[in-house]
């Protein structure tokens, strides 16, 4: 058993729901106990969809367990077919139904429905949401596109020279972080390159669309967590190349354009010319100088984490001090990225471990998920959201892609916004006793005023206490005037200064930290 | 899944037949009760023993209101617990020990059963006994089930309170008569009721659940209890088995419901008519005045309740009698005739009652009825709005202070607001 306060991912059947809900003309019959319909809320509330997810739950109860739950499943599947008339059906079990072993796949087959029925085996006690989505998409693609596969060994026919190259966009789902706008941005970008999008899937696709995936010249894998498995199968079966670069960030978008242009045989020069994104200039303008070396901690799914780290390091001039993911399936990629920034990757789905890491590293900015928002709030570190899981505010009404050139613009604003504005940061460093603008309140451009709410104050005090205890636990003690001097260092770098000074003192066997030690350490480590 | 043979209540009579349906139920499981219970009982912690789905439900349902350190968590069952590679009981003990080390201030720990733990028959009551020995000096450990297969939404509170009742101190047979108010109420509502009972001279009054696990009221043969919530069937039964006697009353919604509810206690404690009138007159008058603001907007409007919390029948009674709304259908997940006897008598003629659910058929009925207002869960609300039906999401009724005189206007406003908004918007 694992003690869990938060979970970064839902169970795998929620991943399957994300595929079904993204698509049109498909229905998912889910063997699940009463209550599991809570998952509908994710789509109707968080993503604000205006339709019920195409999911029928058997919602069995305790009194049904003595009788024939298999019969309940068959009835539900039959009635769902009659009522919704889907073109294809997914059938599967949730965690509780997995325990009673009714075999939804076999039962649905016995119904002999006149449509393709794709059985899903999603081990709930082993795997999670993204894996469930990936597996569902893969099986759906195999089941629907498989019948159109050429004989093994057949060469891909040459593209008709009179036709623009076309690709599929693979990976966007329901409940995906900014999937809606990423698709729009990348579709536009590809169009400017002279490339058409044949099918976007699963988002907005029908089973008939899935059946013709093999017709495109190549595949663009937008979200490897969802689509890499399916894309691999398409490459093997239809000899369609698949892109490897995820176009999040300015540099990644350039690389993506070059990769796609190469695959499609088009000239990218016109698209790359000029100033396709504002990020480079904004980041080079002198206003951004104070961003240099800001210490940032990054956590989320593998794709967004790797992309954010590159942006932070190469495009904004931050210093990546920590990097991690909950996507175990992609741990290797994240480890490699972490190594290139000289840090060790944190691969975990334990929220408490992430919290501990953030507390230990004292970053000045956290880029993470909804959960890191809570961690950052507790530790009073600025934070921006870069990855699912996210809450309703991260399904915005406005156009907010993460991908492509406009995505880079959005990201610049998003990453910089929570940080203290440059002038305010300077003034705080100079004048410390201001009753209104002091360093224990939110930056004033965030408008939260000087008086934090009562309960926040309590959290803050206990956190500071904890930090004090943690540092006192070491062999070194702080002289009173050194402690005072430490408080003159702005809040967002104070933790780091404290730690550096203590390390400095420990390494030199000093029992007491004086004002001199503090400044010695400062001179030793630099900022 | 029987076809809809719709029955009608003719004379506000408790004998009326009820449409009973089985099929897909679009409801929460009992685990969601934790979201308000952990705030009510401040020294209690709720540890769900379940799957990732349970943990996911809790964080989705609690949503943005979750705070850095909630007083609930999930012990997620893993493959090795199922394969018998790890003794599930030893694992549970380890997790509880880890948890109590992290939160030493916790005085009461609930091990909350879920569908997976019930299906694999993990005996949480024995686990609670075992852990009680280990943590006897610091933390009391109880268990109940909030699983979807056994409980629907607010029934989770019923199961929790039913687990608390055996822990209540025994009041002797010689003890003077006391009143117990049963069911979670917002603190502000609890305080108002306490003042009213004081003014009436009714008491001593205890509340279940209490704000702290160390303040459990006594119970015995001279305890009379008033149900503040309609969904507490098991709690009622267990209280009765300890000798306490239930007072029959409608639930304290609106001026009428609150008056009748207080009257049941006043009559039992021999409060004379003039004192009752004197004490309640002001509140009653204020409630009526507050309700009058919404009369015009709500009168004559039809309302359709999807099943959710078991509050549906008392709320429909309030809306029809005090605000003249028309009832299209009242769906309830369970209908306990004994608990609702006084309510059923007050229901208007012609109200369609349904118990249980086949959500697709019920949606068909709602679409056919085209009610002015549909009370339903968040899984249905936006889709119905998109079809042009105005909705009131039901869960809010469980999270808002709505009982008593002072909240009568607020309660009406909850139903008036979506209609007001629909009328206001020009987009």
Assembly ipTM: 0.93
Residues of A in contact with B27 (CB under 8 A): 34-35, 37
Q: Is B379 on the interface with A (CB under 8 A)?
A: yes
- The 10s digit of each residue's pLDDT in A330-341 is 999 999 999 999
**C-alpha–C-alpha distance, residues A319 and A362, integer Å:** 12
The answer to which of A385-389, A444-448, B126-130 has the lowest mean pLDDT is A444-448
Give the residue from chain B lying closest to A72, CA to CA. Answer: B23
- The pLDDT, as a whole number, for residue B70 is 78
Cross-chain residue pair A1–B76, CB shorter than 8 Å: yes
Q: How many helices (H) and strands (E) in chain A?
A: 23, 15
For residue B58, the chain A residue with the least C-alpha distance is A6
Cα B145 off chain centre by: 15
SS3 B71: coil
* pLDDT value of position B5: 42
pLDDT of residue B8: 44
Closest by CA position to A189, among listed A241, A242, A250, A279: A250
Query: What would the mean pLDDT of B397-409 be, rounded to a whole number?
Result: 94
Please judge whether A37 and B66 are an interchain contact, meaning their C-beta atoms are less than 8 angstroms apart. Answer: no
Average pLDDT over residues A87-92: 98
Residue B6 has a pLDDT of 44
Query: Residue A56 is nearest to which of B24, B150, B380, comparing CB atoms?
Result: B24
Q: Which tokens go with A372?
A: 């890191």
- Say what the pTM is: 0.91
Find the CB nearest B52 among A10, A50, A459: A10
Chain B segment 286-345 residues within 8 A of A by beta carbon are none
Give the integer Cα–Cα distance in Å for A136 and A11.
13
Report yes or no: B70 at the A interface, CB cutoff 8 Å: yes
| Nearest chain A Cα distance for residue B188, angstroms | 19
More confident residue, A146 or A485: A146
- Shortest distance between the Cα of A285 and any Cα of chain B, in A, equals 36
> How distant is the Cα of B3 from the closest Cα of chain A, in angstroms?
13
3-state DSSP assignment of residue A399: coil
Residue among A8, A35, A79 with most chain B CBs within 10 A, to mutate: A35
Indicate the pLDDT class of residue A442, thresholds 50, 70 and 90: low
Residue B73 contacts A, CB cutoff 8 Å? yes
Residues of A in contact with B152 (CB under 8 A): 34-35
Query: Chain B residue closest to A61 (CA)?
Result: B149
- Give the per-residue pLDDT at B52: 96
Does residue B425 have a cis peptide bond before it, meaning omega lies within 30 degrees of 0? no
**In the block, residue with structure tokens 């209550």:** A35
Size of interface A-B (CB pairs under 8 A): 188
- Using the beta-carbon criterion (under 8 Å), do B29 and A76 form an inter-chain contact? no
Interface test with B, best of A34, A354, A358, A378 (most B CBs within 10 A): A34
User: Which pLDDT does position A126 carry in this prediction?
Assistant: 94
Q: Which chain B residues touch A41 with a CB distance below 8 Å?
A: 60-61, 377-379
Residue B23 scores a pLDDT above 70: yes
- Measured between CA atoms, the residue of chain A closest to residue B28 is A35
Q: What are phi and psi of B13, to 5 degrees?
A: -105, 140
Q: Which residue has the tokens 């009622």?
A: B236
**pLDDT tens digits along A186-216:** 999 999 999 999 999 999 999 999 999 999 9
How far B66 CA lies from chain A's nearest CA (Å)? 9
Secondary structure class of A316 (helix, strand, coil): coil
- Report whether pLDDT(A4) > 80: yes
Given this model, what pLDDT does residue B111 score? 98
Residues of B with Cβ-Cβ distance to A68 under 8 angstroms: none
Q: Which residue is listed with tokens 């005072």? A: A484
Check whether the bond before A202 is cis (ω within 30° of 0): yes
Share the mean pLDDT of chain B.
Answer: 92
Q: What is the pLDDT of residue A16?
A: 98
Minimum CA–CA partner of A378 in chain B: B68
Output the DSSP codes for A441-487.
Answer: S--GGGT--S---HHHHHHHHHHHHHHHHHHHTSS-EE-HHHHHHHT
Query: Distance, in angstroms, between A205 CA and closest chain B CA?
Result: 20
Query: For residue B156, is pLDDT > 90?
Result: yes
Put simply, the answer to whether B88 touches A1 (Cβ < 8 Å) is: yes
Mean pLDDT on B116-128: 94
pLDDT tens, position by position, A31-47: 999 999 999 999 999 99
A10/B53 Cβ within 8 A = yes
Task: Report the alpha-carbon distance of residue B245 to residue B262 in Å, rounded.
Answer: 16
Q: Which residue from B55, B152, B383 is facing A34, i.e. has the nearest CB?
A: B152
Please say if the pLDDT value at position B72 is more than 70.
Answer: yes
Q: What was the pLDDT predicted at A472?
A: 47
Q: Is the pLDDT assigned to residue B164 strictly greater than 80?
A: yes
Give the tens place of pLDDT for each residue, B384-393: 999 999 999 9
Q: Pick the residue from chain B with its C-alpha nearest to A80.
A: B360
Question: Quick one: pLDDT at residue A165?
Answer: 97
pLDDT at A59 (0 to 100): 95
What pLDDT shows up at residue A407?
A: 98
Reported as a pLDDT band with limits 50, 70 and 90, residue A99 is very high
Question: Which residue in B240, B245, B247, B244 sits closest to B271, CA to CA?
Answer: B247
- Contact of B370 with chain A, judged by CB distance below 8 Å, is answered with no
Can you tell me the mean pLDDT for A94-101? 94
Least confident of A394-398, A437-441, B102-106: A437-441
Is residue A287 among the annotated active site residues?
Answer: yes
Q: Is A65 helix (H, G, I), strand (E, B) or coil?
A: helix
Distance from A61 to chain B by nearest Cα, in Å? 4
* pLDDT at position B359: 97
On average, the pLDDT of chain A sits at 90
Note the pLDDT tens digit of each residue in B196-233.
999 999 989 999 999 999 999 999 999 999 999 999 99
Separation CA B397–CA A392 (nearest Å) = 21
Give the DSSP H or E segment for B44: strand B44-50
- Check A287, A350, A394, A413 and give the catalytic one: A287
pLDDT confidence of residue A274: 85
The mean per-residue pLDDT over the stretch B310-339 comes to 96
Supply the pLDDT for residue A457: 34
Q: Which one, of A319, A302, A321, lies nearest residue A360 by Cα?
A: A321
* Each residue's pLDDT tens digit, A253-282: 999 999 999 999 999 999 999 889 999 999
Which of the four pLDDT bands, split at 50, 70 and 90, describes residue B290?
A: very high
pLDDT at B7 over 60: no
Q: Mark yes or no for CB contact A34/B29 under 8 Å.
A: yes
What pLDDT does A83 receive?
97
Residue A97's H or E segment, with its range, is: helix A95-100
Record: contact A79-B75, CB cut-off 8 A = no
Supply the DSSP string of B381-416, one letter for each residue.
Answer: HHHHHHTT--EEETTHHHHS---SGGGHHHHHHHHH
Q: Percent of chain B at pLDDT above 70?
A: 95
- Contact call for A11 and B31, based on CB within 8 A: no
- Is there a contact between B346 and B369 (Cβ–Cβ < 8 Å)? no
* DSSP 8-state symbol, A160: P
Residue B1 clears pLDDT 60, i.e. is over it: no
Cβ contacts of residue A507 below 8 Å, gap of 6+?
A: none
* Phi/psi-derived region of residue B149, left when phi > 0, alpha when psi is between -120 and 50, beta in every other case: alpha
Asked if the Cβ–Cβ distance from A2 to B76 is below 8 Å, we say: yes
Minimum-distance CB partner of A34 among B25, B49, B66: B25
Using a CB-CB cut-off of 8 Å, the residues of chain B touching A1 are: 49, 75-78, 81, 86, 88, 91-92, 94-95
Q: What is the mean pLDDT of residues A442-463?
A: 47
Choose among B9, B170, B386: nearest CA to A44.
B386
């Amino acid at each position: 058993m694992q003690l869990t306060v938060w979970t970064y991912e839902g169970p795998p059947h929620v991943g399957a729901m994300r595929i079904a809900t993204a698509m049109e003309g498909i229905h998912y019959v889910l063997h699940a106990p009463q209550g599991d319909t809570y998952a509908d809320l994710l789509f109707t509330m968080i993503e604000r969809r205006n339709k019920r997810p195409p999911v029928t739950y058997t919602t069995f109860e305790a009194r049904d367990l003595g009788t024939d739950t298999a019969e309940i499943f068959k009835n539900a599947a039959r009635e769902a077919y009659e009522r919704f008339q889907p073109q294809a059906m997914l059938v599967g079990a949730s965690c509780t139904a997995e325990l009673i072993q009714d075999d939804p796949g076999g039962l649905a087959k016995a119904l002999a429905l006149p449509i393709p029925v794709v059985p899903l085996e999603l081990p709930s006690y082993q795997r999670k949401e993204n894996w469930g989505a990936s597996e569902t998409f893969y099986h759906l693609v195999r089941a629907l596109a498989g019948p159109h596969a050429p004989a093994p060994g057949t060469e891909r026919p040459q593209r008709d020279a009179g036709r623009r190259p076309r690709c599929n966009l693979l990976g966007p789902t329901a409940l995906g972080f900014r999937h809606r706008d990423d698709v729009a941005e990348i579709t536009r970008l590809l169009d400017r390159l002279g490339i058409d999008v044949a099918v976007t899937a699963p988002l907005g696709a029908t089973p008939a669309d899935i059946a013709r995936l093999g017709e495109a010249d190549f595949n663009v894998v937008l979200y490897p967590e969802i689509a890499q498995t399916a894309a691999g199968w398409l490459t093997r079966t239809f000899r369609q190349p698949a892109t490897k670069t995820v176009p999040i960030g300015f540099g990644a978008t350039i690389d993506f354009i070059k990769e796609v242009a190469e695959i499609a045989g088009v000239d990218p020069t016109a698209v790359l010319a000029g100033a396709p994104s504002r990020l480079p200039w904004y980041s080079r303008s002198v206003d951004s100088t104070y961003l240099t070396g800001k210490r940032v901690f990054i956590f989320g799914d593998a794709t967004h984490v790797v992309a954010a780290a590159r942006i932070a390091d190469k495009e904004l001039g931050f210093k990546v001090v920590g990097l991690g993911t909950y996507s175990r399936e992609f741990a290797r990629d994240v480890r490699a990225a972490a190594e290139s920034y000289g840090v060790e990757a944190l691969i975990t789905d334990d929220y408490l471990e992430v919290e501990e890491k953030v507390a230990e590293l004292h970053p000045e900015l956290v880029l993470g998920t909804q959960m890191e928002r809570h961690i950052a709030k507790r530790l009073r570190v600025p934070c921006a959201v870069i990855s699912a899981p996210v809450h309703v505010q991260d399904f915005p009404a406005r156009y907010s892609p993460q991908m492509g050139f406009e995505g880079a613009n959005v990201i610049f604003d998003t990453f910089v916004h929570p940080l203290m504005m440059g002038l305010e940061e300077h003034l705080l460093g100079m004048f410390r006793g201001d009753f209104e603008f002091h360093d224990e309140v939110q930056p004033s451009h965030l408008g939260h005023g000087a008086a934090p709410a009562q309960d926040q104050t309590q959290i803050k005090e206990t956190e500071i206490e904890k930090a004090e205890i943690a540092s006192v636990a070491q062999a070194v003690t702080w002289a009173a005037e050194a402690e005072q001097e430490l408080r003159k260092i702005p809040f967002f770098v104070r933790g780091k200064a404290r730690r550096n000074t203590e390390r400095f003192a420990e390494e030199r066997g000093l029992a007491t930290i004086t004002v001199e030690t503090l400044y010695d350490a400062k001179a030793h480590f630099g900022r | 899944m029987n076809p809809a043979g719709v029955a009608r209540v003719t004379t506000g009579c408790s004998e009326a037949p009820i449409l009973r349906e089985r099929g897909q139920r679009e409801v929460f499981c009992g685990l969601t009760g934790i979201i308000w219970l952990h705030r009510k009982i401040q020294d209690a912690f709720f540890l769900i023993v379940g799957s990732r789905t349970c943990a996911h439900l809790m964080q989705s349902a609690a949503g943005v209101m979750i705070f850095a350190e909630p007083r609930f968590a999930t012990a997620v069952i893993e493959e090795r617990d199922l394969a018998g590679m790890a003794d599930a009981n030893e694992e549970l003990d380890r997790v509880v020990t880890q948890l109590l080390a992290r939160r030493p201030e916790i005085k009461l720990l609930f091990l909350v059963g879920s569908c997976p733990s019930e299906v694999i028959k993990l005996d949480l009551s024995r686990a609670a006994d075992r852990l009680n020995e280990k943590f006897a000096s610091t933390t009391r450990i109880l268990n109940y089930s909030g699983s979807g297969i056994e409980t629907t939404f607010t029934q989770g509170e019923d199961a929790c309170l039913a687990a608390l009742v055996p822990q209540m101190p025994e009041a002797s047979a010689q003890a003077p008569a006391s009143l117990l108010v049963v069911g979670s109420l917002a603190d502000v509502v609890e305080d108002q009721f306490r003042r009213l009972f004081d003014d009436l001279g009714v008491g001593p009054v205890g509340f279940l659940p209490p704000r702290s696990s160390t303040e459990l009221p006594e119970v015995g043969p001279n305890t009379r209890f008033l149900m503040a919530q309609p969904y507490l069937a098991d709690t009622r039964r267990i209280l009765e088995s300890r000798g306490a006697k239930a007072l029959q009353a409608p639930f304290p919604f609106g001026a009428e419901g609150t008056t009748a509810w207080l009257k049941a206690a006043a009559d039992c404690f021999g409060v004379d008519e003039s004192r009752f009138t004197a004490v309640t007159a002001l509140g009653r008058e204020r409630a009526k005045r507050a309700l009058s603001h919404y009369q015009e907007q709500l009168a004559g409007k039809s309302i359709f309740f999807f099943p959710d919390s078991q509050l549906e029948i008392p709320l429909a009674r309030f809306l029809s009698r005090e605000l003249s709304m028309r009832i299209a259908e009242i769906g309830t997940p369970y209908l306990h005739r004994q608990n609702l006897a006084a309510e059923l008598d007050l229901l208007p003629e012609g109200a369609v009652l349904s118990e249980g659910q086949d959500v697709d058929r019920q949606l068909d009925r709602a679409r056919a009825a085209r009610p002015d207002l549909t009370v339903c869960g968040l899984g249905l609300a936006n889709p119905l709005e998109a079809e042009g039906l105005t909705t009131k999401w039901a869960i809010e009724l469980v999270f808002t202070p709505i009982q008593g005189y002072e909240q009568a206007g607020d309660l009406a406003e909850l139903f008036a607001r979506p209609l007001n908004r629909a009328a206001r918007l020009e987009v």
